Structure 1
């Protein structure tokens, strides 16, 4: 088989074409990665190199894109998120495309996000990490330390202990819970964040559309349940006893941790749970719910400015 140079010599205007080919070859062969590849494959023939100048040129350009790449979204390679690799097979130069580190990280992030389910929780909460949390007062330092400890050590089914973050509106309790959920995902532990008032309303409507039992079962059985803004709902005996009580009883028996955020401390929450829409006061039933919360969740006060700005 003729070499490329032999073929080019026979073509009209071959001198100009051959010059351009040689310049391209020299440019390609000056690339460090290609030189390293050639040196690690000393049996490659000159003919094989000539035959694959365009392939080597493609490799060089694609790898240059990878070197200058700032994010997966800005990837300009032919196959976004894939990095070229030269290899030989039976004396031939070939290119394979492997998943790059940025795409691996993005794919892993997507996989982890599937472990975090949410109901009525803002999207920014689902992307929270511990690195993003402000540590501007002692109570937040303590809360973050407890949250990190929980997220890195909890084992659903073995230890049902959770956390109860309480404090004023907007101090960042839910954001801390989002960071916990993402850290749990790193450990392949599934969690569910539930904005409690909306979830209770959805369960109530589920009685009419037949979805009540299914939705209740999902929340009861999720490995880590985060009840956000407990106490913000309109309390009724049915919500307290047949929803919250049933959920907590199941999770207590199965040793599945439950975490909470609330504007109320334990005493205030107990008072809230003792009232119903009908105006009655049912302290004993409220105490039963509170016993399940107190025994299985450590109370942590979170103080600070209103970070929501309203």
Structure 2
């Protein structure tokens, strides 16, 4: 379809002038324009004529939206947006103002992008953070883990109602019972509510920290992200090959900053007692009970233990 500007620019031709007049008459009698005139009776014919381009854009984008082909194939000049008209009085005369407004699909995409920007993932499959979630499916998938799921739902609702507390959750359970999935769900739901979050897969994170040892700036930035996030999740803690530097200087620094400030969450195959034993032993220095206890003093008092029971779902379709 030719633009209104293209047609009006060729009005010197009698044939095209007649065509333009026909287009103008058709536009003025379009149901959307008639509805606009009925809503704003103060609009004069001259005002409408002066704002032909706005009216044309308004009608065109509305028609496109009525037969929406999807965001990827949006035919509007400003994809994902439609023209909205408002009428205001200025010095006693009605004026037509137009603005581009995101459609429902665009608004949904913007909300999803905003959620993604609030979540930072270290070595966790981001597909788990991007999937749609069904609360009914989460609850019904494995009845054995229903108490844990209920607590996750409850925690999310508590934060939405009252804000963050410094107390997080410690999800303890066997392999494949959905602990990481439940933490991703919590992170996603609270990101929708405006909270920032970080999830860290501990075994790979600890290995990568070895390379950061020589890159102080990257290490500093990574630690700062974890300190400042509203929600921090250490996924599969206890499965990493721990060394004293990671335990005492990285983990210790992060947890020392967050305790009594922001909640930290964990998933683990270990109980708290088992985790303390794990944190007390490193491949370099062997067993150092007091250092394990020191770190646990920054974990155990600030979490509620939630048992996640159920069958191993890995590999199941």
- Same fold? TM cut 0.5: yes
Which residues in structure 2 correspond to 1:118-157 (within 5 Å)? 118-128=121-131, 130-131=133-134, 134-135=138-139, 136-154=141-159
1:208-229, CA deviations, whole angstroms, 9 ceiling, x for partnerless residues?
Answer: 2223344334323433211111
Which residues in structure 2 correspond to 1:17-36 (within 5 Å)? 18=18, 21-22=21-22, 24=23, 27-29=26-28, 31-36=30-35
* Structure 1 unaligned residues grouped into runs of 5+: 1-7
Which residues in structure 2 correspond to 1:1-310 (within 5 Å)? 18=18, 21-22=21-22, 24=23, 27-29=26-28, 31-46=30-45, 56-69=55-68, 71-88=70-87, 90=93, 95-128=98-131, 130-131=133-134, 134-135=138-139, 136-154=141-159, 159-211=165-217, 212-252=219-259, 254-278=260-284, 280-302=286-308, 303-307=310-314, 309=316
Once the 2 structures are TM-superposed, how far is the Cα of residue 177 of structure 1 from its aligned partner?
Answer: 1.6
1:227-283, CA deviations, whole angstroms, 9 ceiling, x for partnerless residues?
Answer: 11111211233333333233323322x432110112323343233223321473334
Contact 1:129 1:180 in 2 (8 A): no
1:139-168, CA deviations, whole angstroms, 9 ceiling, x for partnerless residues?
Answer: 433223222332343499973211111233
Q: Judge which range, 174-183 or 68-77, deviates more.
A: 68-77
1:6-55, CA deviations, whole angstroms, 9 ceiling, x for partnerless residues?
Answer: xx9x97569xx748954x55654554322210112334445665676675
Change (3 A) 1:44 1:287: closer
* Structure 2 unaligned residues grouped into runs of 5+: 1-10
C-alpha distance in 1 between matches for 2:69 and 2:300 = 48
C-alpha distance in 1 between matches for 2:120 and 2:196 = 8
Other-structure match for 1:3: none
Contact 1:59 1:86 in 2 (8 A): yes
Change (3 A) 1:276 1:11: closer
Once the 2 structures are TM-superposed, how far is the Cα of residue 206 of structure 1 from its aligned partner?
Answer: 2.3
C-alpha distance in 2 between matches for 1:12 and 1:199 = 74
